[in-house]
């Protein structure tokens, strides 16, 4: 009887050890590694000697829970006349539809998702000019009050008429990089407009400047007359959303809140290696990356879903170049340091194309003069005959 009991105990212990051995690797795999993929591309992957190619790194994965880190967010609102029920200006697409009211309520719904112990918000309005109604701060009441102010204050059509999307983006950009920006917080802007750019304010160029400073840009197009540039502006994990009617705005702002308030990782250091024979184009490294020797290093407070890092390279000698290795080290949602390598990519450089055989302007001029002289000579010859 005692012998059987001992055998039972030994068998149970062995079974427990085997189970622990099998489960341990599974538990290790389940550790929170939030950046699951880094896509690396070279476009184009074949160039002629002296031409440039762009190397791009795009990050993807599962975002941390909303509110685990801070964010500074600028709400950029269109206050041109087409946003208002009382719009009677020429070209208003829906003069009987109130757009500013639902837009304000949707933006306030976003604010209510923010944690002002960490987050900050700003309200920017634009028509012909970009105006900071509420600078970056942690007062929810102030932000909501400035949004409510918009409901009864359309832009003056004579002094401030028009739609200058670029001016709104510029004002938000300057606010997000000002001394009011909280160190360590991510920076984002959400740009809402229902009209076409008509003030030559360069929305794409000004958005690119914000993107290069690491600001995440989202755009929302409302109604049927949205400027086409709104689809090209988003960056750093931001995206474009189309709202056919004002009733669609609340769900869009909530979707943006799910993205902008949760990163993939924090305190990230990203490196990529440029092989001998390739030269990094000066000024082409995005997000403040620094080239030292043959390694580019970026230091990022946060990495968002869809964050894109890039730089350009060129070569004078033909050949096949391996761009890499590269890696990212970051803190995951649990605060645990993680490291991930990403794949090398190949760039093929061919001989430079032969110079164009198009004649120089002076050659064409001389040829034309000679033909004109020949024609005159022939006419004189005929007349003499």
Instruction: For 220-251, write each residue's pLDDT tens digit.
Output: 999 888 888 899 999 998 999 999 989 899 88
Whether the predicted pLDDT of 61 surpasses 60: yes
Alpha helices (H) in the chain, listed in sequence order:
2-29, 100-111, 140-151, 165-176, 203-212, 249-260, 361-384
Cα distance between residue 7 and residue 327, in whole Å: 52
pTM greater than the 0.75 cutoff:
no
Whether the per-residue pLDDT at 378 is higher than 70: the answer is: no
pLDDT digit string (tens) for 274-308?
999 999 999 999 888 999 999 999 999 888 777 78
Q: Is 316 exposed, middle or buried (0-12, 13-18, 19+ CB in 10 A)?
A: exposed
- Mean pLDDT, residues 2-31: 43
Question: Is the pLDDT higher at 265 or at 233?
Answer: 233
Mean pLDDT of 166-173: 96
pLDDT given at position 287:
87
Q: The dihedral of CA 227, 228, 231, 234: what is its sign?
A: negative
Look at 38-52, 258-272, 296-310, 364-378 and tell me which has the smallest mean pLDDT: 364-378
pLDDT the model gives residue 89: 54
340-343's contacts with Cβ under 8 Å and 24+ in sequence apart are 340/33, 340/35, 340/38, 342/38, 342/39, 342/40, 342/57, 343/40
Ordered structural domains, the chain, with CATH: 32-63+264-350 (2.60.40.740), 71-260 (3.40.50.410)
Listed ranges 24-38, 59-73, 183-197; the one with the highest mean pLDDT: 183-197
pLDDT at 126 over 60: yes
Average pLDDT value for residue range 172-200:
91
Mean pLDDT of 86-104: 70
Instruction: Report the pLDDT value the prediction gives residue 355, as an integer from 0 to 100.
Output: 55
- Name the least confident of 65-79, 109-123, 276-290: 65-79
Sheet with strand 279-280: strands edge to edge: 35-43, 52-61, 308-314, 279-280
The answer to whether 105 and 250 are in contact (CB under 8 A) is yes
Per-residue pLDDT of 2-13, as tens digits, reads 455 545 444 554
| pLDDT for residue 372 is more than 70 | no
Residue 332 corresponds to which tokens in the numbers above?
């995951």
Most confident of 55-64, 80-89, 268-277, 351-360: 268-277
């Amino acid at each position: 009887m005692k012998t059987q009991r001992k055998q039972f105990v030994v068998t149970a212990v062995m079974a427990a050890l085997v189970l622990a051995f099998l489960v341990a690797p599974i538990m290790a795999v389940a550790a929170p590694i939030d950046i699951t993929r880094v896509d690396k591309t070279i476009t184009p992957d074949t160039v002629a000697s002296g031409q440039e190619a762009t190397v791009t790194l795009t990050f993807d994965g599962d975002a941390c829970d909303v509110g685990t880190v801070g964010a500074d967010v600028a709400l950029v609102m269109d206050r041109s006349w087409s946003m208002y029920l009382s719009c009677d200006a020429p070209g208003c697409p829906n003069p009987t539809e109130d757009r500013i009211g639902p837009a304000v309520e949707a933006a306030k719904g976003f604010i209510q998702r923010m944690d002002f112990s960490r987050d900050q918000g700003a309200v920017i309005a634009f028509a012909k000019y970009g105006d900071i109604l509420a600078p970056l701060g942690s007062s929810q009441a102030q932000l909501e009050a400035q949004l409510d102010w918009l409901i009864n204050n359309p832009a003056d059509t004579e002094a401030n008429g028009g739609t200058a999307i670029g001016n709104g983006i510029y004002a938000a950009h300057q606010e997000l990089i000002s001394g009011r920006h909280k160190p360590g917080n991510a920076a984002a802007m959400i740009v809402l407009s229902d009209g076409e750019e008509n003030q030559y304010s360069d929305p794409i160029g000004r958005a690119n400047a914000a993107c290069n400073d690491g600001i995440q840009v989202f755009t929302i197009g409302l109604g049927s007359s949205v400027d086409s540039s709104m689809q090209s502006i988003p960056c750093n994990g931001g995206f474009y959303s189309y709202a056919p009617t004002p009733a669609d705005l609340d769900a869009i702002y909530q979707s943006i809140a799910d993205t902008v308030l949760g990163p993939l990782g924090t305190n990230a250091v990203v490196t990529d290696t440029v092989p001998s024979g390739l030269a990094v184009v000066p000024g082409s490294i995005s997000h403040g990356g620094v080239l030292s020797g043959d390694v580019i290093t970026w230091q990022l407070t946060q990495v968002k879903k869809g964050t894109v890092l890039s730089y350009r390279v060129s070569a004078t000698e033909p050949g096949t170049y391996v761009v890499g290795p590269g890696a990212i080290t970051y803190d995951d949602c649990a605060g645990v340091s993680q490291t991930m390598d990403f794949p090398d990519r190949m760039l093929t450089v061919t001989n430079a194309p032969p110079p164009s055989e198009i004649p120089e302007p002076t050659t064409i001029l001389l040829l034309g003069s000679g033909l004109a002289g020949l024609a005159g000579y022939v006419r004189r010859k005929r007349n003499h005959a």
